[in-house]
Amino acid sequence: MNPRRPFTLIYAPAVKKHLNKIEPEYYSLIRRAIERQLRFEPDGETRNRKPLKHQSAFEISREIRFGPDNRFRVFYEVDQESHKVFILAVGQKKGTRLFITGEEFEL
């Protein structure tokens, strides 16, 4: 039997700045969610992992939602050819508004 080959997760340098605006107590939750949801089937669609209907300000086409009240968003791109997932942005929803680095973005 051939085990599934994991995808390499590559974080954009800006992600560190995005995390600075999120409470540190959630860092391990965010890291675990990224590892669990994107390591093996990053382009699989679930209720909380799906393509965006409209491209965001970051030119990103996919997102995962997780955490208390699905408050966290991770935006990413998948390169099947190189077997890599590029984590491009991490944000936090507050009500109906999305914040990345403290700045509000349209969904």
| Domain assignments of the chain as residue spans, ordered by start | 8-105
- Contact present, 55 and 75 (Cβ < 8 Å): no
pLDDT digits (tens, 9 = 90+) for 49-95: 888 876 555 567 899 999 999 999 999 999 999 999 999 999 999 99
- Contact present, 68 and 94 (Cβ < 8 Å): no
Class at the top of the CATH hierarchy for domain 8-105: alpha beta
Which run of H or E residues covers position 93?
A: strand 84-94
- Contact present, 60 and 70 (Cβ < 8 Å): no
- Contact present, 87 and 93 (Cβ < 8 Å): no
pTM for the structure as a whole: 0.88
